[in-house]
């Protein structure tokens, strides 16, 4: 199917990510299946459509924009460790500023975790993933794919800020000011919880390295 499949999956991806995050839609879904249910379903749906999109990019006609060199593989190898740890420390944590938060009423500006440095850590992870994979993938389809994801992540941060500020009103401004005035570094709420999340982040990274050839047909290691 070539370019046709690639374009169609792109449309499905953006629809599947836009509709569930609309306040009126998300409220209904959360009311039906709860915060954990929403996070789980949204995550599974996102990963499934993302995998389909990656496969479609691989099946698109090859139009090279730049060549491959061995050093380029170092970029995603290093970046993906950061991405996995970032996601492990973020997923299912309270975050009233973004779309993926769970139990947001538990959020405290005294111990905000990564929210002290970025209000949208999941989108930050997406941007790092996309930009890192852009380096060793110089064909047109993958440049469009990863370039769009990086732009989507950066633009998404701004759009969600506007939407959340509109929905939360003065609470959004108050929480942001409290974060800005708080300590740059702070002790974790639970060392045990932090250790567990770091462990699963590193475990996820190791699993990705091992499964990458099976899932995507390409070895992440230098050749």
pLDDT score recorded for residue 173: 87
d(CA 179, CA 175): 6
- Highest mean pLDDT of the ranges 38-52, 63-77, 89-103, 208-222: 63-77
| pLDDT the model gives residue 204 | 95
Q: What is the mean pLDDT of residues 180-190?
A: 72
The whole-angstrom separation of Cα 191 and Cα 189 is 7
Name the phi and psi angles at 216, rounded to 5: -120, -5
Q: What is the pLDDT of residues 108-142, one digit of tens each?
A: 777 777 888 888 998 999 999 999 999 999 999 99
- Is residue 21 helix, strand or coil? coil
- Over residues 14-41, mean pLDDT: 77
pTM for the predicted model, two decimal places? 0.83
What confidence score (pLDDT) does residue 20 get?
67
Asked whether residue 101 carries a pLDDT value surpassing 50, the answer given is yes
State percent of the chain over pLDDT 70. Answer: 93
Most confident of 100-104, 113-117, 212-216: 212-216
Write down the pLDDT at residue 14. 80
Q: Which residue has the tokens 């994801």?
A: 149
pLDDT at 175 over 60: yes
The token pair that represents 123 in the structure block: 């989108």
Confidence of residue 100 (pLDDT cuts 50, 70, 90): low
Average pLDDT over residues 73-90: 94
C-alpha to C-alpha distances, 155 to 25, 162, 167, nearest whole angstrom: 21, 11, 19
- Quote the pLDDT of residue 223: 45
- At residue 64, the 3 state secondary structure works out as strand
Residue whose entry in the numeric block shows the structure tokens 């060549």: 67
Q: CA 166, CA 159: separation in Å to the nearest integer? A: 11
Q: Is the pLDDT of residue 221 over 60?
A: yes
Task: Please say whether the beta carbons of 89 and 197 come within 8 A.
Answer: yes
Q: List the alpha helices (DSSP H) in the chain.
A: 3-18, 23-59, 74-88, 121-134, 140-168, 170-181, 191-216
For the chain, what is the mean pLDDT? 86
Closest C-alpha to 93, from 62, 68, 116, 64: 116
């Amino acid at each position: 199917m070539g370019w046709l499949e690639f374009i169609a999956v792109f449309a499905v991806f953006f629809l599947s990510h836009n509709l569930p995050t609309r306040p009126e839609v998300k409220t209904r879904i959360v009311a039906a299946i709860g915060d954990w249910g929403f996070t789980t379903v949204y995550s599974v749906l996102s990963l499934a459509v993302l995998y389909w999109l990656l496969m479609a990019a691989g099946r698109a006609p090859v139009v090279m924009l730049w060549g491959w060199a061995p050093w380029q593989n170092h970029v995603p190898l290093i970046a993906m460790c950061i991405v996995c740890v970032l996601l492990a420390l973020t997923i299912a944590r309270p975050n009233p500023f973004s779309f993926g938060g769970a139990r947001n009423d538990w959020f405290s500006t005294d111990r905000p975790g990564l929210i002290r440095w970025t209000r949208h850590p999941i989108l930050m992870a997406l941007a790092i993933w996309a930009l890192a994979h852009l380096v060793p993938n110089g064909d047109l389809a993958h440049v469009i794919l990863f370039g769009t994801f990086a732009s989507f992540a950066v633009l998404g941060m701004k759009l969600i800020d506007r939407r959340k500020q509109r929905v939360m009103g003065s609470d959004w401004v108050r929480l942001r000011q409290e974060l800005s005035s708080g300590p740059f570094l702070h002790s974790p709420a639970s060392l045990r919880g932090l250790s567990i999340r770091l462990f699963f982040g590193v475990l996820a990274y190791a699993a990705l390295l091992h499964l990458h050839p099976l899932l995507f047909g390409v070895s992440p290691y230098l050749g």
